[in-house]
Amino acid sequence: MSFFDFRKRKSRPAAAALTYDPVKPEPPQVVAVGRGHIAEEIVRVAKENGIALHEDPGLAEALACLDVSEYIPRELYAVVAEILSYVFRVDAGAGHKGTTG
């Protein structure tokens, strides 16, 4: 079991991108993670592609500890579920298929 200490933050901002298919049984999966310039690039690419963004420094730090293609750990299920719920509602209101990043 992993434990994330949200109080410890790196000086460079972190970003992560997730993918999730609500039809499949797997939890959300990390598809991109980075700090500094790479984090800025993840955000830029998401914006260019109309992918929903959510700013949460603590969650970004926790996700930055994971490897690309890793599924999120159980400790993060609740917070990620809240974000996915919001994104699905926003996408549904905008007439888009519910995808997140």
What DSSP state is assigned to residue 74?
Answer: G
Domain spans of the chain, in order of start: 21-94
Which amino acid is residue 12, in one-letter code?
R
2-6, 44-48, 58-62, 71-75: lowest mean pLDDT where?
Answer: 2-6
Judge whether residue 2 has pLDDT over 90. no
Go through the chain and tell me how many residues it has: 101
Q: What is the pTM of this model?
A: 0.75
CA angle centred on 76, ends 94 and 4, rounded to 5°: 135
Q: Which of 62, 10, 13 is nearest to 39 (CA)?
A: 13
CATH architecture of 21-94: 3-Layer(aba) Sandwich (3.40)
In contact, 69 and 27? CB cutoff 8 Å: no
